Structure 1
Amino acid sequence: MSSIMKFIPLSVSFIFAVTITGCNKLKELPESVITEDQYYKTASDAVSAVNAVYGSLNGDPAGDFPIYGRNLNILISNGSDEQVFSPSNTNPDVRAIGTITYVAENDRVRKIWQQHYYGINKANIAIDKIPGIEMDETQKNRLVNEARFIRALLYFNLVRLFGGVPLVLHNPSSIDIEAVKLKRATAEEIYVQVIDDLTAATALPASFSGADKGRATSGAALGMLAKVYVTRKDWATARTILEKILTAGTFTGATGTYGYDLFPVFKDVFQKPTKNGKEHLFSVQYESNLGARNVQNFLSGSNFNSFNPKSFPGDVPDENLPKIFEEADTRKAASFFTKMLNPATGQEVDFSPVTRYAKFIDFSLNPITNQAQSGINYPVLRYADVLLLYAEVRNELQGPSAEAYKALNIVRARAYGLYVGNGSYTDHRRDLSGLSQAGFREAVFLERRKELVQEANRWFDLVRKGTLVEELKKIPAKTSNVSEKNYLFPIPQVELDLNNLLTQNPGWSR
């Protein structure tokens, strides 16, 4: 990593496209520098610029955990009732999030802030520069809208994690640190920008083929837009958007032509042969053994940080989480394991009593000894999430209607191996019925908890439901430390130190 340059860890300092490393010296290679005026001249440059935006999701310039590859999960899983810190994890900042003792100096909180602004800066450059390139207008507009989709996703994460944050929409022309300091925009201002970007991104193609599979689509933009409106509790707008995604004929009012559906078998959501399939609206892309240090889905390899089967993995689900699943629920075996076959030896390895996560295990590799380059994609948004959002929205608008039950029960039917496809199944033994509006709401959030394990949803769900403190107080390692301030993470202290225009979130010391 000797060619990686240091930078001042302020959000706007990501304009320098460099990063913190604890051991590197500043190394300049002027003979290799290409200025912005020299670059962004061709269609190939435009594609490369947008590919770099995607790269901010599955990579980190310093070789750290990527956003969607473990780092966001540390905050969302450890910071909720989904996960506790592992006894094998010696990083005090990770342990602090798992015990809700984290502070503004926490390095994982700092890192997630910086990674998001790094990606935002990449998106801003693409959005600013691509319009000036002489190229096919359709491709030009598409690439700009892809960058806007990812910028919206990153700001949507930031506003939910931190509240109002600096709103940076262009690559600043000045390198004067005073000139690039910004105050926090309000949360409302951030949401307005997120909605604007996602609305623009709805003009993207409905699908891609070949090597372009996995790029943002109009369906992905609509799905994220619906999730934004659900987060804001704008139920009517969310319903309108969701019905544009839901496959026509499966629900009254559904007009979607994307062909989205659930895989009949739950584990197929997390298999290489079915990646970017009919259930996936948008996934962060991974591939096995690419050899690229910065493109690793660490969520798989963290299960096997030691070959001692009785050791603790890097990430440990809360002991109560597997217990909420019935044995007949196929999501349990697809989400957790205590035993696994080692194909190199033909022997089953017993990891009990420590439960480990299973979703991101790449079985095209040795599942135990070779997971450093897992090729399992990270699903940011999938159709099961859309169905559960629709069930929630219909319930909030008019109570548990027939359409609300249908959306919820389709997800449950698939969980128990009963779902056929195209919104249809004949065995209704697992259907829910007869619930009050409050009871139905609880059922939806319970189903979300089971369905979306380790997919960076749980903390966000508890926050928007308003039950984060209540649920964390049920966990002994967290109960005495959680308070209302935990509904937002602290603004990283290093950002406050470098930018005197920033203010800290309520309850956190500056």
Structure 2
Amino acid sequence: MKKIFRYITLSIIGLTASCNDDYLEHYPLAELTPENYFRNAQELESYTNAFYNQLPDALDIHYYNPHQADDEARNTLPDEFRGTRITPGDGGGWSWGALRRINIYLEHSHQCTDEQARLLYDGIARFFRAYFYFDKVVRFGDVPWYESALGVDDEGLQKPRDSREFVFEKMLEDIDFAIEHGRQEKSAQLITRWTALALKSRMCLFEGTFRKYHGLDNWEEMLQECVKASEELMDAGVYSIYTSDPNTAYQELFIAEDAIVDEMILARQYTENIPLVHSANFYTLSASFGRPGMQKSVVDSYLMKDGSRFTDLPGYKTMQFYEETRDRDPRMQQTIRTPGYKRIGSDQASVPDFATCVTGYQYVKYVLSAQYDAGRNTNDMPIFRYAEVLLNYAEAKAELGALTQTDIDRSIKLLRDRVDMPNLDVNAANADPDTYLVSEYPNVSTGADKGVILEIRRERRIELVREGHRYRDLMRWKEGQRLAEPFYGMYFPGAGAYDLDQNGTIDLVLYEGSAPAPVPGRQYQRLGELVLEHGLNGGRIVNLPDITKTWDEDKDYLYPIPLDELLLNQNLTQNPGWAE
């Protein structure tokens, strides 16, 4: 039975502290004012526990639609993909309550005379301030920097936006402090020195590549900071890539009841004992919540088992499900249903269910046995894992033009070794850049490292799929136009009966007109309701063909500031292209 980790206990305490935030903001009772709180390690710990509520939950990680970007198709589209975002009156992510609580803590923590405890919890607070501002910079670009808790009449509330360069320098000060004073013991539930290094690796890769591809200055410095943080974590030898059977190891990471601490640097914990559960099974397998499915472009990106490129094969565009899933990178069969798939706890092979998956490429990542289907998942969810740090390291080095085969051998190779895949060859990749990836990422910088940059992007997409990274990746690479392209699913030549797993039994019937007499065990889809790109002449499944998607290169990489905020603070300016 799953044990209650300390993080769960702290989260509950944190929720309680969060409910009592008003006592630290409005001071209704003299005995609860900041001046006579923050006196000892227990009070510092209790207050900082509330900061953990900033971390993403399971829905943010595996389901929140914009995060999955062009990796995933559903029967709905968010405004970001449709080009229908408008400037909101209020809300819109422009919220500062979490920052105020952090700054209240940092203004008063000196009241604790236990210096060791104060430095530890100050480091946690500054981790979360960097984390808070990372989200704001990604979303809005320039934002006001506040390092004190302002009152309602404070003149600081009327300050203009600070440049993202200034804000990022302040974030680096915070995260470096968190690294210096963080816990040395690794924990998948608590912020540690290693969590801080992972955040620094992530945020510096984002900022470095965003600046590079959006034409801003000092991108090299940010990428060098990413390399430095990644190397420090790698050299410490505290984490490793989890391995077991190459045909199951990758999937095991995401179905584990308790986060596998070999690789999971930080995870969101779930347990039935409180209860604190999530709905990955339900959202993945229900017909009621978007019917999510992997997009065809991701399937095409997986390499063959021998390391060769699937998209180099003749006729790859018209391969059907059984053929296209044979002899591929084992991570494919551990991420989506492929022929022979058996659900956990079942001896019966299952093909994709088109009633619950719009593309036919149905996820198995995070999916547990049927007993958890009614919204009762208890598998922990990844927030930071070592694999991401290795990918950050390799990408930053490649974008700097400093990547060597040795760098690949200590990063990408470890991910491929897990699933018994051949290593990435730097010279071969650069000598022959994949034309398919070139078409996927037209903005990749030309130069000697173009081929390996593309291959690292492939690796990142495959390794981190459905972990909430893809939207930000497209934003920093200036590849947002991918969101305006059609999303596709499986290829079918037209109406007919299909044995998807080639076991001698018909699994799916695509038909025109009236439905045929049903046969038990078969799925039925009417052409026209399930749309193929060439109509009755076949093609890939087209997701939401009647919805027009657009992307505005001049404005859509940043979100708009709400109109009410512009009225309240006349010194704020709106992001380019958004209505004032």
Q: TM tier, shorter chain? A: 0.7 to 0.9
Q: Is 1:219–2:194 an aligned residue pair?
A: yes
- CA shift, 1:154, in A, is 1.8
Q: Is 1:351–2:324 an aligned residue pair?
A: no
The equivalent residue for 1:4 is none
Residue-by-residue CA offset, 1:229-268 (whole Å, 9 max, x unaligned): 333233334333322121xxxxxxxx32424334452123
**1:46 aligned to which of 37, 44, 47:** 44
Q: Is 1:390–2:385 an aligned residue pair?
A: no
Call closer, same or farther: CA 1:137–1:86 in 2, change over 3 Å: farther
- CA shift, 1:181, in A, is 3.8
Q: Distance in 2 between matches of 1:297 and 1:32?
A: 40
Call closer, same or farther: CA 1:315–1:32 in 2, change over 3 Å: farther
Q: Name the SS for the 1:487 alignment partner.
A: coil
Contact 1:164–1:187, Cα closer than 8 Å, also in 2: yes
Q: Is 1:187–2:164 an aligned residue pair?
A: yes
Call closer, same or farther: CA 1:35–1:347 in 2, change over 3 Å: farther
Q: Distance in 1 between matches of 2:109 and 2:170?
A: 20
- CA shift, 1:58, in A, is 4.7
The equivalent residue for 1:467 is 479
Call closer, same or farther: CA 1:244–1:171 in 2, change over 3 Å: same
- CA shift, 1:17, in A, is 4.9
- CA shift, 1:450, in A, is 1.2
- CA shift, 1:403, in A, is 2.0
Q: Name the SS for the 1:485 alignment partner.
A: coil
Q: Is 1:160–2:138 an aligned residue pair?
A: yes
Q: Distance in 2 between matches of 1:367 and 1:340?
A: 16
**2:371 aligned to which of 366, 371, 378:** 366
Q: Name the SS for the 2:86 alignment partner.
A: coil
Q: Distance in 2 between matches of 1:381 and 1:443?
A: 22
The equivalent residue for 1:138 is 116
Residue-by-residue CA offset, 1:113-169 (whole Å, 9 max, x unaligned): 43xx333233222222222123x3212211110111121112112112210112222
Q: Distance in 2 between matches of 1:393 and 1:42?
A: 41
The equivalent residue for 2:261 is 277
Residue-by-residue CA offset, 1:293-347 (whole Å, 9 max, x unaligned): xx6656554335x5xxx55537554454344335433333443359874969999
Call closer, same or farther: CA 1:494–1:450 in 2, change over 3 Å: farther
Q: Distance in 2 between matches of 1:49 and 1:236?
A: 34
Residue-by-residue CA offset, 1:201-244 (whole Å, 9 max, x unaligned): 112345437xx652122222223223333332333343333221
Q: Is 1:261–2:241 an aligned residue pair?
A: yes
Q: Distance in 2 between matches of 1:195 and 1:302?
A: 37
- CA shift, 1:272, in A, is 3.2
Call closer, same or farther: CA 1:346–1:336 in 2, change over 3 Å: closer
Q: Is 1:118–2:97 an aligned residue pair?
A: yes
Call closer, same or farther: CA 1:342–1:215 in 2, change over 3 Å: closer
Contact 2:56–2:383, Cα closer than 8 Å, also in 1: no
Structure 2 length-normalised TM: 0.65
**1:401 aligned to which of 397, 404, 423:** 404
For structure 1, which runs of at least 5 residues remain unmatched after alignment? 1-13, 19-27, 60-64, 88-93, 247-254, 419-426
Contact 1:413–1:428, Cα closer than 8 Å, also in 2: yes
Q: Is 1:236–2:219 an aligned residue pair?
A: no
**Alignment map for 1:93-112 (pairs within 5 Å):** 95-105=78-88, 110=91, 112=93
Q: Distance in 2 between matches of 1:99 and 1:51?
A: 38
Q: Distance in 2 between matches of 1:346 and 1:236?
A: 50
Residue-by-residue CA offset, 1:86-111 (whole Å, 9 max, x unaligned): 34xxxxxx73234232222298xx35
Deviates more, 1:222-231 or 1:468-477: 468-477
Q: Distance in 2 between matches of 1:314 and 1:31?
A: 50
Q: Name the SS for the 1:282 alignment partner.
A: strand
The equivalent residue for 1:6 is none
For structure 2, which runs of at least 5 residues remain unmatched after alignment? 1-17, 209-218, 304-324, 431-448, 488-544
- CA shift, 1:448, in A, is 0.9
Deviates more, 1:456-465 or 1:440-449: 456-465
Q: Distance in 2 between matches of 1:380 and 1:388?
A: 15
Residue-by-residue CA offset, 1:460-485 (whole Å, 9 max, x unaligned): 22222222225644557564344331
Letter in 1 for 2:457: F
The equivalent residue for 1:90 is none
Q: Name the SS for the 1:202 alignment partner.
A: helix
The equivalent residue for 1:487 is 557
Q: Distance in 2 between matches of 1:106 and 1:454?
A: 31
Q: Is 1:303–2:284 an aligned residue pair?
A: yes
Call closer, same or farther: CA 1:375–1:147 in 2, change over 3 Å: farther
Letter in 2 for 1:200: F
Larger Rg: 2
Contact 1:337–1:356, Cα closer than 8 Å, also in 2: yes
**2:66 aligned to which of 75, 90, 96:** 75
Contact 2:257–2:380, Cα closer than 8 Å, also in 1: no
Q: Name the SS for the 1:54 alignment partner.
A: helix
Residue-by-residue CA offset, 1:29-49 (whole Å, 9 max, x unaligned): 978994434533332221111
**2:465 aligned to which of 437, 449, 453:** 453
Q: Percent identity?
A: 21
Contact 1:146–1:215, Cα closer than 8 Å, also in 2: no
Q: Distance in 1 between matches of 2:428 and 2:453?
A: 13
**2:379 aligned to which of 376, 380, 383:** 376
Q: Distance in 1 between matches of 2:34 and 2:277?
A: 29
Contact 1:69–1:298, Cα closer than 8 Å, also in 2: no
The equivalent residue for 1:424 is none
Contact 1:336–1:358, Cα closer than 8 Å, also in 2: yes
The equivalent residue for 1:198 is 175
Q: Name the SS for the 2:382 alignment partner.
A: strand
Q: Is 1:128–2:107 an aligned residue pair?
A: yes
The equivalent residue for 1:423 is none
The equivalent residue for 1:286 is 269
Q: Name the SS for the 2:162 alignment partner.
A: coil
Contact 2:284–2:363, Cα closer than 8 Å, also in 1: yes
- CA shift, 1:277, in A, is 0.8
Q: Distance in 2 between matches of 1:33 and 1:345?
A: 62
Structure 1 length-normalised TM: 0.73
Q: Name the SS for the 1:244 alignment partner.
A: helix
Call closer, same or farther: CA 1:474–1:433 in 2, change over 3 Å: farther
Contact 2:264–2:385, Cα closer than 8 Å, also in 1: yes
Contact 2:123–2:181, Cα closer than 8 Å, also in 1: yes
- CA shift, 1:382, in A, is 1.7
Q: Distance in 2 between matches of 1:16 and 1:177?
A: 23
